[in-house]
Amino acid sequence: MTTIKFYPKVNYRFANSNIKNENLKEILMWDKARIKIELIKRGSNFTKAALDEDLSSGACRTALVKPFPAGERALAKALDISVEELFPERYREAK
């Protein structure tokens, strides 16, 4: 039996927020595959993360494709990171 290895696509973007060292302009973005893998590593999934926060079973999957604050917060809590780090394009600082 052969083992299939899954390597998620890695997206990089340039950002200045939360970076103390100016040489570190590139930060790793969270894409759908990375979020799913991290949830699995933690013994969870999209449905469990949503139900743990008393949301509908599809709330976290909805948050992946369009803004849905409750689902975004549930995913961030399940991954132990801030919502701003998980979805930086949705939570940009006002200038």
8: nearest Cα among 34, 35, 40, 30: 34
Identify whether the C-beta of residue 82 lies closer than 8 Å to the C-beta of residue 76: yes
Q: Whole-prediction pTM value?
A: 0.68
- pLDDT tens for 51-70 read 999 999 999 999 999 999 99
71: left (phi over 0), alpha (psi -120 to 50) or beta: alpha
Model confidence at 22: pLDDT above 80: no
Tell me yes or no: is domain 32-95 CATH 3.30.70: no
Q: How confident is the model at residue 1 (pLDDT cuts 50, 70, 90)?
A: low
